[in-house]
Structure 1
């Protein structure tokens, strides 16, 4: 289940960032950051399941930082 959600989130992030790259319209950047934060959360959970707690904690911290940045992006735009 986590592997499927990781793939779906990765595709969403790549599509949104590709749209911003080719059109030079960065209005969707907070959405990209939000989906990337969810991607990092899923990666952290997978690492915890594999028993790699160090990388899992780093991924959770990155998730929290990206979530904070995306919320700031939603509020400032």
Structure 2
């Protein structure tokens, strides 16, 4: 899980740097989709560590919302 989280974080950093430098926000739904994937992986990692607290569930709920917004962004283009 840690390797997947690191790879996704590097992709998000590279994509966000590209968006800021070029000021072309065409790839924003992709950035949000990958950010949602990071939150989902983090939430699942929290639940696997037997931390049944509020944090793991909150990460999963927020990632589902980000997935919804990202899909809506794909459909509007």
Q: TM-score range by the shorter chain?
A: over 0.9
Alignment match, 1:64? 64
**Deviating 4+ runs (over 6 angstroms):** none
Deviation string 1:21-62 (CA, Å, 9 cap, x unpaired) is 111000000000001111101000111112222110000001
Could you tell me which runs of 5 or more consecutive residues in structure 1 were left unpaired when the two chains were aligned.
none
Q: Find out whether 1:5 has 2:10 as its counterpart.
A: no
Structure 2 unpaired stretches of 5+: none
RMSD after superposition: 0.7
In 2: Cα distance, 1:5 partner to 1:47 partner: 14
Q: TM-score, normalised by structure 2?
A: 0.94
How many Å separate the matches in 2 of 1:20 and 1:48? 33
Count of aligned pairs between the two proteins: 76
State the alpha-carbon separation in 1 of the partners of residues 27 and 74 from structure 2.
10
